[in-house]
Structure 1
Amino acid sequence: MTDFTGAYPVQHSRKNHGEAWRRMRHFVAVASAFVIIGVILWIDIATGIWQELAVVSGLAGGLVSFLLTVTVLDRILQRQTERRWAPLNRIALSDFLHTLADDESEITPGPPAARTLPAVQSAVGTSELAEEMRRLRQTVVDERDRLARVLSSWAGFLASSGDYEAILTHTADIAWSLDRVRDATLRVDAAGASHDEVQHALDDLSDRIEQCNRSFAAVIPELRARLVADSPR
């Protein structure tokens, strides 16, 4: 049986860099907030100016309260919520992972492999091309339905029980990529008898299939990393 939560080598991607950038922005925001609070307190201690400017002192006090709430209190409450709902969060993330992993991963050892769309095999002008487009569209519709079911089941819960915005967004991006593949198959069918037009439509379809498969592959390590992080110590 595939180990969905075990240790795995880190895989770098644009999404990993996006998550690191998000954390860096949060750190900079927290550091800046504490600098501002420190300056306000220093002015109060060193000059007593707030006693002379009542309105400005009130605004400064409100700013301090706002910064403490945004940078500290909200984060504490979020972590408490994540700990309280951790068992259900793990079930939700596992459901996402099983939905996005290849069917063979359920019965084979090792890390789960991402689901993939098949590459186009039929050549331009062959009688098999139209049938392959029909099968590919059906595959895309099936994959889209799988994603829609897991998102409708868990998106609202995860959005309110922790910091899962990135995972939800990346999963929704896969659904959008599937829609683009479906639209590209329709353009192949509509290209007509022109060899160049059909070939151009097939090239575009191949690019979109590759992009969709990359999206599938990128979200798997992200889900596994979060499952490991959320597992009880």
Structure 2
Amino acid sequence: MDISPDSVGRRNLRPPLQPPAHQSPLRYCTRLQRTPCHAVEPRYSQIVASFESEPIESIEKAFARGDDDALRVVYEHHGSLVYTFCHRTLDESVAKDVTQEVFISAWRSRARYEPAKGSLAGWLIAIARNRIIDNVRAEQRHSERRAGGVAPDDVHVGSQVDRIADRLLIAEALRCLSDRARQVVTMHYFEDLTLRQIAEATQQPLGTVKSDLRRGLARIRHQLESDHG
């Protein structure tokens, strides 16, 4: 079953993007074909399971090649990230529409995505950023025209959206770390614990904690540098 945006009508591309906790976002993605979820769930579960054994780089390359199964898995992995980014600035209904537009745009322009130059999450966020700014500017101009005020400050809009994007990309980079490295980075930078305190709390040698922190920060730095081009 093909769920690519090229194969379905634009008016059908409006699945809910914040499903109940017990349901997978992938089930909502299948509604793009108006197919009952219970009829296709086993197949899509197999698709996700088959890709989860692959490194994320393989999934990104498959997406760039135009693999429809990879598109479904990318939606499964990154749908909530993109929606969260949009919803931080836009109303819920607009955020849902913009999220769908992001995946349509990404799929249609997938030939321009180069996995070696950055993560797919970063690329999707970059597409979403432009869509969000366009929507915010349009809304502000509409409001200002009605109020007879001045035009919006485009630089301020872009900076605000960029700050949100940076926070989400850092969170995404943290998610990609090993459990141990993520724990050390979180405890040190978000809970303000010293390395010695972390070593005591985790019952790890101080040298191991230092190594985990160094490797974790290097991975995050590399991820963010790639995502920002």
Q: Same-fold call, TM > 0.5?
A: no
- Structure scoring higher RCO (CA < 8 A, sep ≥ 6) equals 1
> Which is higher, the Rg of structure 1 or of structure 2?
1
Q: TM-score, normalised by structure 2?
A: 0.30
Q: TM-score, normalised by structure 1?
A: 0.29
